[in-house]
Structure 1
Amino acid sequence: MRWQGGRRGGGVEDRRGMGGGAVAGGGIGVLVLAAIGYFVFGIDPNTTQQVASQLGGVGQAEQQGRMGTPEDQAGQFVDVIGTNINDVWKAKLNGYTPPTTVIYEQGTTTGCGYGQSAMGPFYCPTDHRVYLDLGFWGEMEKLGGSSADFAKAYVLAHEYGHHVQTLTGASQQVQRAQQQAGSKAEGNRYSVALELQADCYAGVWARNASAASGGQVALEPGDLEAGMKTAQAIGDDALQRRGGGRVSPESFTHGSSAQRVEWLQRGYQTGDPAACDTFAQL
């Protein structure tokens, strides 16, 4: 994926070095949170809030962030890709306002409670921020995802998709529908539709990335395949099999591997957010 030299918008808040990752209960708590993070990729803020009540606060010592230094390639990547995603959505959605992306290590406070790296990347609608511990890239590869830059960008674009859903009101509608649902399985279907739409929105971004950046950010041969490999690796059925459990479709919250690949492809093939109506299939 071509991105180096792309425009940087500065919409990244660097909290690395805050030292706020200590968790009461030690390794057991981390393992529990890791399980949540893997099975609930892009974790629901409500779950984040529940976990928050069991965790301590952020440490007070804060070190200067590394953003802007030449050696901070990972931070620059997040800035360039986030800026490009924003440029695409400014053209696709009237009244679009960019979120802030927070890079942190181990743990940090959020508008949705206490966020921890084991939860994976997530979007908080309360403060309109995407939270990302860059160590997740390595965890994603361990799950069978790709290490390619586009795979990382797909994850980021998925979270920005949740921001779009908050701006359009889709997230709020799903929350209301879940509150009125007659069963947990019914509520999960709304969650799956929301997550698959975010995958589709990631595909929409990918299709329009080059045009929005004048070619500074662009996919290269093999990139889409890397994204699909990652989407397949983080499908609910794949994660349940990896965890040694029974595949239970009624418990899916993000969609199967096949569904995630399908909607990422659909967004990329059309380049049109209107093609991402996952709720029509409920």
Structure 2
Amino acid sequence: MKWEDNRESTNIEDRRNSSNYGSKGRGGNMMALLPIVKILLGTKIGRIVLVIGVVAYFFGFNPLSLLDSSVTPSSTQSKVVNKDADDKSARFVSAVLAQTEDIWSEVFKKYGATYQVPKLVLFRGSTRSGCGFASAQTGPFYCPADRKIYLDLSFFDELAQRHDAPGDFAQAYVIAHEVGHHVQNIIGTLDKVQKAKQNFRSEKKSNALQVKVELQADCYSGLWAHYSMKNFNSLEEGDIEEALNAASAIGDDTLQKKAQGYVVPDAFTHGSSAQRMKWFRKGFTQANLESCDTF
């Protein structure tokens, strides 16, 4: 994918170098532990414990992690082996996000509407989101509550190594998919789906509806790819194949079979590999909102 000469988005929140302490800040944890500190100060052993804690703190160990389960130790941070490569990945994400901003602004304008750009939070290890605690294990996601996309850059390594879906356009597909959820949020799809789920007593029905949400986001990702080729001449040979390979690699049936050796369709929440590829192709070839009606 050709992207180096394109503009980069200003709507990136780079938290890669931030210290993460779960749902509370460092100061908040200190205030909560003041009663314990007062008790420790009252005994000789307690004062020794405090001194040891202070010394450990200055040597890089966070003693609060032993006292407060909401603290996330620094060891959970995903290690950055090559900072230059990591920064390049961050610039790539910013460039892809900028494309989605321009493309969706154009699409919305055709429908007489104004596109409201999302923020994208880059992090490593863990961070806070409007939808709760975010970690590398959760994978990329969109939070409707704060209208932000959350992405741990280590996911790109996982996509290539664990899911055998390498390539920058595979990564771009994932970003565009999450932006697709933002589009759904703007036009009211996510709200309607959430209300419909509240009336379901069956997990099977709820899952089936969620699959439609995810497949539509795949279609919107294909729509982005169409305009990325048309407006920015970004696509190179093999790029669409990279995206389709990624869509297949993270299909529910593929992931279930790899994890447990068999497939449970009623438990699908994102769609099968074939479905995900089908809807990405449909968005790419037809490139309009109507063609992405999975409902």
TM-score range for the pair, normalised by the shorter chain length:
0.7 to 0.9
Work out the CA distance in 2 between the residues paired with 1:99 and 1:177. Answer: 25
Residue aligning to 2:275: 259
Whole-Å separation in 2 of the counterparts to 1:195 and 1:264: 11
* Structure 1 residue ranges, 4+ long, deviating more than 4 angstroms after superposition: 57-60
* Partner residue in 1 for 2:6: 6
Distance in 2, Cα, partners of 1:95 & 1:59: 42
Shift of 1:273: 1.9
Residues 1:110 and 2:110 aligned together? no
Shift of 1:9: 2.3
**Which position in structure 2 is the counterpart of 1:100?**
119
Which one has more relative contact order, counting CA pairs under 8 Å at least 6 apart? Answer: 1
Residues 125 and 163 in structure 1, CA contact (< 8 A), matched pair in contact too: yes
Cα separation, 2, equivalents of 1:247 and 1:58: 34
For residue 74 of structure 1, the aligned residue among 68, 76, 89 is: 89
2:174 counterpart residue number: 155
Residues 208 and 16 (structure 1 numbering): CA distance in 2 closer, same or farther, change over 3 Å? same
Number of the residue aligned with 2:105: 90
Looking at structure 2, the residues matched to 98 and 59 of structure 1 have their Cα atoms a distance apart, in angstroms, of: 33
Q: 1:10 to 1:124 in 2, by over 3 A?
A: same
247, 265, 275: which one aligns with 1:249: 265
Contact 2:22–2:127 (CA<8 Å) still a contact in 1?
no
**For 1:1-282, what aligned pairs fall within 5 Å after superposition?**
1-20=1-20, 56-57=70-71, 72-93=87-108, 94-213=113-232, 215=233, 218-279=234-295
Letter of the structure 1 residue corresponding to residue 90 of structure 2: G
CA contact (8 A) 2:22 2:128 kept: no
Shift of 1:8: 1.3
Specify every segment of 5 or more residues in structure 1 that has no aligned partner in the other structure, as ranges. Answer: 24-54, 61-68
Instruction: Report how far residue 220 of structure 1 moved.
Output: 1.0
Q: CA deviation at 1:21?
A: 7.1
- Tell me, in whole angstroms, the C-alpha distance in 2 between the residues paired with 1:233 and 1:166: 26
TM superposition shift of 1:95: 1.6
Residue 70 and residue 117 in structure 1: after superposition, are their counterparts in 2 closer, same or farther (change >3 A)?
Answer: closer
Equivalent residue pairs, number:
239
Distance in 1 between residues matched to 2:11 and 2:158, nearest whole Å? 25
Structure index of larger Rg: 2
CA deviation map 1:158-215 (0-9, x unaligned): 00000000001001111111111131100111100000000000000000014444x3
Tell me how far apart the structure 2 counterparts of residues 263 and 2 of structure 1 sit (CA, whole Å): 24
